[in-house]
Structure 1
């Protein structure tokens, strides 16, 4: 009987053995980041070794086998495929064919007494497929380990009989069979449910067009930039067509990427709404390790955490249990299931993502070179993934930082002291010395940084750092050796931190191009540093986005759209749309104070009193809840001091508020208030984005100033860089970010179609075209006022509501 296309499952040899055969402890004391780096370096050493082989060596030999299976009354085909690193036609004694698997490692080869079990399993799979296809009764396997630093090689060889290999392979496939059967069965249910799910709301004006545009973008493998005001329903308008595309077989996974926890909650609620209407979908939210770990501070090894002991022996059953019990998998459900099976909740959560249809997570998991999900994004393979990127305006600065790297001179001296004395001191294998080679490399790097420091008074761009890079490369060789031998946990974190910082610096240097600059300066504490600064993250983001099918960027504030397209890897053929606001203009009033300024040259008690007068008149026009957004804590506190006793119900945001303090602050903004509540907040802070005070929980916002970032070395470097390229350095370095904060803050007022509210912009610069050109369409018409005339306009507005 012929199986249908939907009754087929494909898996790579590597993924098969790593998933089924992993076992033992979760242990961060061995391998870890260095093994991941070895994987990245591996392709280079593969090619080098393969080129050195003779005519009897066939490199990158494709192998595939399809196995008919029956499980749980389901008949399906399981295809296992991959590329053997080499197939050797053996001219000497022994098997006529030898399958070669090459692995690049950092560890000292003399310490290896046997191959890594999953590596051996991988080459045995290739050997079985080859022997089955070409009818060999026996076949050879070889593991070729190459040290990535020294390029020394060590072989492990074995001859296998086909009948034994077949028995081993069949048991491996049988174990995976339950997962394959579950996957096919689930996809059938999921796709059937998707076909029957309709849009869960009545379409707002322009919303149906938005949904259609998202679907067409996915269908055409493009990228879409959506500038949509609050109330359009951005989340459901992107999630719904993405789910529909999945049901049509256009995508296997949806990544909903966010910058803040609150927007992850909105995504979860959106999936819940669809599930209430019959959608079957496995959705999981990734919680950061430090927030979901059962320890006060994550330390993933059996000595520190009981769950790390034997974690891999239990985790697959934990994942299977969770998948069969839940669809919308929250942090709480992950924690409960992890406790039931005594496994690490974070690692279990990552394993669940392999089987989930939708993954809700931070930007980092798709874009950050140190954190991204390698199980999905390793290598250059293009997959049918959809990226839904919420609050996309946040990604510009986040991506610039992800793809930048910094080193502090003092860290090299700190590690040098730790190695020379105390518990971090390590005797060389010869029994003499005190890790002198590593100390020497640290001193060489410090000398390079000292030279750069002497040339830097405040901030200095550096044209070439080839000497430093050379010495950092030599340092890493010794560092790898040292970390292999050094087992103590005392001071290990400080030692590892510099190692990780240097590794990241070197990796970013590999990406360095004309969209970067290098500079040196001093931090607030006077510590000297060198930074590789990413000026435009588009190339790096594009590399990540190319691993998927389509990307949808959406935000209430993507103005000017061309700037965001340029910074976020928009291509000429990609689309940009503006979703019209569904709100009736009579439900809001936008006022601009003509005679007040927050410029540094104008800041004074007199100006602050003028600002306070505006705030007082604005909040007295109608009883209710208001927020006033200031450009800094300093100005907030100075105006708050003047406002004491003059403003009814005043509460002020504090620096570094806890989650509980944040919730308590927002709880003061109640429905149907009997008194006025005025919250003084900071633009760009926790209350200016992501909070959702609907209806009369917030009826007005005052925006004090244009939100321009503080002048600093880095901002000035951005300004100079873009002045030299396009002449609009001020816009790129200051204006766009400032106005984005303004728009986000103002967006707190009107959240639903029933909301009414007033917005007051306090700075005469808002009347300048440079600023007003960045107003969204729904900010017109607006009214220019002074403190005297404002009251009349507000009285007319509120009396008409």
Structure 2
């Protein structure tokens, strides 16, 4: 029996016929929206009897396989006895430069024509390619008539060219399904609570629901979510995305996959690394003249995809880089192309949730078969606010106006935006408004259109500042389209500057909007605490599953002490000597490696200067701002269990060392948290407070207490990582003894003693 390969027409022709180079010198970011609008404009002109957006499907044997082909053509025209399939393509190119139409576009039309001819038993079908120029909305068409024999030959040649790739995909799929059936949990037994979590994830994925899980440190969250998501593949051809905020957590996911592979799992995964981190060149300039990996990318990518999918299973960054160099292809675009072909993807939140970065080629059909595993989900609240907010500064527009004084169109566009910003600067209205300023948005839209015309000009170089302003403006307009009652329009004035911001207060509805089309979503973290706050902020609703389990570790593994000293800003100078003495006493009473967390860099630096390093038989390290990856690894590398002289590392609450790091055993014997982690008061935090007060909730808790305590829980969570670990946790702040904070303390920390 011949194997069956299901493929969309667009996917098929792009694989076989796409050629040339990556050139991101300029791609109109508004073109996708414009493209849809222009398509619809042309389709409205169709005469009665013509059809638009027609779904076509059929099958064809070729290359030893049976292909199930499907796709949606833009239109079908019926003129007397003649039937014509139309493909519409919007283009930023001048129509005069398009002489015959692209081969990939012709092939798409020819495949649709073949399916239509087979369905309606036609002997001849026309194919019309219509290009519409985005800027002028002028059109240019090319037309050819084909016999059914010619279409059959073209489709057959296309499928034969696709077959080597199809065979790799089908073989991998067959091996995966066999291995998933036989796959067992990679440990001899489940930890406390682990089996329940795995069961909850399996049920969620199987029923296409959403799950919000608070699974404390030590539950083995990564394997407990990946294993059931992969086992659920038995029930259908689904895939998964493991999304997280930290590089270190991605590594943990890769290690879990290696464990499953040792148990016989055969399925393909890729880890996506940010473009600026993985780029082989000094500067990330995606132009064929500058980058040999962008030059001719599409001529070489098919071979690169077949090679890596044949040879590799867990495609980590080093593996991807070696194949990218071998085939001379851009490593970032290579990883994105692979992400549509593999069974699992490990990546940052951005690729799913951020409207600027999300994977645009993923269709709703594909999302229906994709499960989201959202690790460290507590981070998504803050990241969600950032992703669904945008801002623009008046000075950025004026800078570009000065840089290009000779460009009339650009000058006019900037003047129009500046006029609106000046109006806002002079207005008496409130600086925080519920309504979006439509006049400003319209002027920014016009600026974007002018900027795109400028960027489309040949032979002219544009500055990084200009490109940044263009992207910031695109982002501003994109967020204006998402603007809702959960947003505020902020105006920040100073004598020299005016900044306008579209600020997202509550990202819950937008997070829910993103996850809704996917098969299932599993939000999990060791610190979804308090649970009701995170459940609401992450878009939880009545029909969603909830899962909370206690810590798998014994309470006596922690020696918890609360030292009730004020760390409030007004008291810091007075209490810092007592705090540093408290740190010294804890260390001297229970020797070993320590992490000490502070609410800010300046507070940490003051404590470092004040510590009596002579009385400490230890090496004292301090976290520097903006540490590079190598410097972070060096810092953590100092936490060895075999040191003669222990290390005390001072770090910032909510920073790179307060979550996602695993210092097991004697690598870490103590954690001290100075303060309760409250965010700095700001316009934004006050807006959050007022908004939730208005909703009948405790706005202060939502804006300050809960986000602050989450940082404390994460930092304290570095201490006990396994059943064998024992350690000291000291919380320095008098607020920990107030009823509010007592009620919010983690259960495993409640057996504390008060330090005096």
Q: TM-score, normalised by structure 2?
A: 0.96
Equivalent residue, structure 1, for 2:447? 475
Does the CA-based 8 Å contact 1:623-1:675 persist in structure 2?
no
1:656 positional shift = 2.3
1:404 partnered with 2:389 = yes
Q: Deviations over 1:610-668 (max 9, x none)?
A: 11221122111122111111111111111222213333312222222222322222222
From the superposition, tell whether residues 702 and 557 of structure 1 become closer, same or farther in structure 2 (CA, over 3 Å).
same
Does the CA-based 8 Å contact 2:434-2:487 persist in structure 1?
no
Q: Map 1:135-284 to 2 at 5 A.
A: 135-148=121-134, 150-201=136-187, 202-249=189-236, 251-284=237-270
Equivalent residue, structure 1, for 2:401? 416
Cα distance in 2 for partners of 1:158, 1:747 equals 67
Equivalent residue, structure 2, for 1:683? 653
Equivalent residue, structure 1, for 2:13? 17
Equivalent residue, structure 2, for 1:528? 498
Does the CA-based 8 Å contact 1:456-1:520 persist in structure 2?
no
Equivalent residue, structure 1, for 2:40? 47
Instruction: Provide the secondary structure at the position in 2 that maps to 1:269.
Output: helix
Does the CA-based 8 Å contact 1:459-1:713 persist in structure 2?
no
From the superposition, tell whether residues 152 and 771 of structure 1 become closer, same or farther in structure 2 (CA, over 3 Å).
farther
Match of 1:67 among 60, 72, 75: 60
User: Which has the larger displacement, 711-720 or 310-319?
Assistant: 711-720
Q: Deviations over 1:429-483 (max 9, x none)?
A: xxxxx43233112101011112222348995437341211222222223222222
Cα distance in 1 for partners of 2:626, 2:31 equals 39
Cα distance in 2 for partners of 1:278, 1:379 equals 31
Q: Deviations over 1:112-154 (max 9, x none)?
A: 3332332222112111111222222221112233344544333
Instruction: Provide the secondary structure at the position in 2 that maps to 1:475.
Output: helix
From the superposition, tell whether residues 568 and 486 of structure 1 become closer, same or farther in structure 2 (CA, over 3 Å).
farther
**Size of the alignment, in residue pairs?**
753
Cα distance in 2 for partners of 1:740, 1:329 equals 33
Q: Deviations over 1:591-621 (max 9, x none)?
A: 1113x011122222x3111112211221111
Equivalent residue, structure 2, for 1:423? none
1:674 positional shift = 3.2
The answer for unaligned runs of 5 or more in structure 1 is 421-433, 787-801
Does the CA-based 8 Å contact 2:339-2:345 persist in structure 1?
yes
Q: Map 1:388-399 to 2 at 5 A.
A: 388-399=373-384
Match of 2:108 among 122, 145, 158: 122
From the superposition, tell whether residues 300 and 149 of structure 1 become closer, same or farther in structure 2 (CA, over 3 Å).
closer
1:538 positional shift = 2.2
1:106 positional shift = 4.0
Q: Map 1:280-679 to 2 at 5 A.
A: 280-376=266-362, 378=363, 382-420=367-405, 434-455=406-427, 459-461=431-433, 463-489=435-461, 491-521=462-492, 527-594=497-564, 596-604=565-573, 606-644=574-612, 645-649=614-618, 650-679=620-649
Does the CA-based 8 Å contact 1:307-1:343 persist in structure 2?
yes
1:381 positional shift = 6.6
Cα distance in 1 for partners of 2:561, 2:67 equals 65
Does the CA-based 8 Å contact 1:624-1:673 persist in structure 2?
no
Cα distance in 1 for partners of 2:114, 2:63 equals 21
Q: TM-score, normalised by structure 1?
A: 0.90
1:709 positional shift = 0.8
Does the CA-based 8 Å contact 1:225-1:577 persist in structure 2?
yes
Instruction: Provide the secondary structure at the position in 1 that maps to 2:298.
Output: helix
1:212 positional shift = 0.4
Cα distance in 2 for partners of 1:279, 1:61 equals 40
Cα distance in 1 for partners of 2:556, 2:654 equals 28
Does the CA-based 8 Å contact 2:376-2:525 persist in structure 1?
yes
Q: Deviations over 1:392-433 (max 9, x none)?
A: 11111111111111111111112222222xxxxxxxxxxxxx
Q: Deviations over 1:12-53 (max 9, x none)?
A: 1112112221101121124x3x1x532333333333332332
Does the CA-based 8 Å contact 2:109-2:129 persist in structure 1?
yes
1:782 partnered with 2:746 = no
Cα distance in 2 for partners of 1:601, 1:386 equals 48
User: Which has the larger displacement, 150-159 or 234-243?
Assistant: 150-159
From the superposition, tell whether residues 106 and 722 of structure 1 become closer, same or farther in structure 2 (CA, over 3 Å).
farther
Does the CA-based 8 Å contact 1:382-1:546 persist in structure 2?
no
Cα distance in 2 for partners of 1:320, 1:130 equals 31
Cα distance in 1 for partners of 2:377, 2:294 equals 37
Cα distance in 2 for partners of 1:331, 1:513 equals 39
Cα distance in 2 for partners of 1:262, 1:231 equals 16
1:737 partnered with 2:724 = no
